[in-house]
Structure 1
């Protein structure tokens, strides 16, 4: 009888030892890429289709952009005008203007030569007593005026060959830089009205229809990358010691086929549901900690966002 009792106890212990590892429930969550435009506008093109696989750079949608295109043309014209002014000030006067300035200098020199000859003749007459001193002073004043006119014409010729003043040239260059920056800004605004896929992914959803007004920053297309699915499940406090980043768990779900494995990436540092009572032994059973795990890229193809899963946590080794 005693031996039978010992055998019964041994069978119970063996059955306990063969207990299945504990399992917890969870669900599949997706980290979507919500694609929008930084500018507002009416939706005029939507080539993206729900369920389609798109490569990075594939056009997704286009907003109206007539105003931005016109602004680019205007900015280009302003830049061309500013750059032309810079070139004009840098080169100085044109060939015909320089020729006119040289002709003016030649005329001033000829006038000076004539006034000097007149002054010499007047001095000779004054020395012989045939000319008054007032007439001599007038002739000398005319010679001095013609000499000043020559110096002025020479200065004008030097300036004509040097181009615009440094301050005027600097102002023109600053104006050209401002026009160039304005053009870049207008071109950026135009580009933002045509949005392409930032990553290779599946089009999960489109949130607007053609003709609707899209606010700035509002998502228009929702993308799902192949590796953007993760498992979220809650582990009770007694099992927390068995789960840490890098732990491999087994996952099952309806319609997913054979069970597969996932690797724990994150364990929450705080409990999700904390009873407002003293942590007795019974209450600790009610503490749940969020755990996130990542399946392989191949296994992720079998999953859909929101799908319930059952996660088996292996015994601690």
Structure 2
């Protein structure tokens, strides 16, 4: 009878040993978060904080705002400067204003009338001179007057033509450059104004807020610390005898205390060097002490179930 019980015990022990040999190895690790620090390129007083610590927000959500009185005024000034430059360009392109052209046209009409009158007087004087009725001096005066009034007509005709022409090519090019410079100044002013309000670049958890409303924020200082789900990863450590069997893309499962179910993840990175080297001489007996760091990322939905610093246990799938 004792032999029977002894045999059963040996069989049970053998079965347990066989099961333990086939059980997937487990590695210890922890959850790590790669935080995104939201800041502005401009300095200013924090006037608006739109999120709270622990809040989950969507991409594009307004996060915080700084005072923007100066930037708004600069933007408005740039808009007015652009409008002035555009108006000047349009004025050059269209030539003189219609009332100015009308004045020159009226002067031309008067000059034409004077020229016609002078031409008639010249005709009469030439007839009188042929008949001996007037001296040559009077005829010369009539000819000079007719020539002068005719020249004045030609001058005013050219002035009307020029008044209707647009500005010269070089003048137009210079003013067009002024318009582009004003447009660039407006874009720069608008960019500075836009920098006073910051939105979330990705969906995720607001891990912490680092300033309070009313405090001065220096340019580049983070105001909100975010943790996007895709930035949550698990770091675990495997022995050098195992690291050669792993590769990026290999599936693992993550077990943590309090988790309702194990979380699937995918290996994304394996260290190329030993993470911790004990102060011993390399030997066959001590090589098992060498470990390598491995990183695995869960899906974005499962990442929200994990918390940075949380200890986990990782197994191969």
* Superposition TM-score, scaled by structure 1 size: 0.85
Further displaced range: 169-178 or 230-239: 169-178
1-structure distance, mates of 2:133, 2:279: 131
Match of 1:273 in 2: 276
Residue 176 of structure 1 pairs with residue 179 of structure 2: yes
Q: How does 1:209-248 map to 2 (within 5 A)?
A: 209-248=212-251
**5+ residue gaps in structure 2?**
1-5
Q: How far has the Cα of 1:69 moved from its partner?
A: 0.5
Residue 255 of structure 1 pairs with residue 258 of structure 2: yes
Q: How far has the Cα of 1:225 moved from its partner?
A: 2.1
**5+ residue gaps in structure 1?**
none
Residue 284 of structure 1 pairs with residue 299 of structure 2: no
Match of 1:15 in 2: 17
* 1:243–1:313 CA contact under 8 A, matched in 2: no
Deviations 1:136-174 (A, max 9, x none): 444433322222211110011112222333332332222
2-structure distance, mates of 1:191, 1:203: 22
Further displaced range: 265-274 or 184-193: 265-274
Further displaced range: 125-134 or 236-245: 125-134
CA distance 1:73–1:298, shift in 2 (3 Å): closer
Q: How does 1:1-317 map to 2 (within 5 A)?
A: 15=17, 18-19=20-21, 20-128=23-131, 133-274=136-277, 279-313=282-316
Q: How far has the Cα of 1:56 moved from its partner?
A: 1.9
Q: How far has the Cα of 1:228 moved from its partner?
A: 2.6
CA RMSD in angstroms comes to: 3.0
1-structure distance, mates of 2:299, 2:99: 79
Deviations 1:265-306 (A, max 9, x none): 221223323579875324533432221112244543331101
CA distance 1:163–1:259, shift in 2 (3 Å): closer
* Superposition TM-score, scaled by structure 2 size: 0.85
Deviations 1:35-75 (A, max 9, x none): 11222222111121001121222211001100110011111
2-structure distance, mates of 1:206, 1:290: 31
Q: Which runs of 4+ in 1 moved over 6 A?
A: 7-14, 275-278
* 1:242–1:313 CA contact under 8 A, matched in 2: no
Further displaced range: 194-203 or 84-93: 84-93
1-structure distance, mates of 2:18, 2:103: 114
Q: How far has the Cα of 1:78 moved from its partner?
A: 1.0
CA distance 1:278–1:156, shift in 2 (3 Å): farther
1-structure distance, mates of 2:159, 2:279: 94
The aligned length equals 310
CA distance 1:145–1:298, shift in 2 (3 Å): closer
Deviations 1:175-205 (A, max 9, x none): 2222122222212221221111222212111
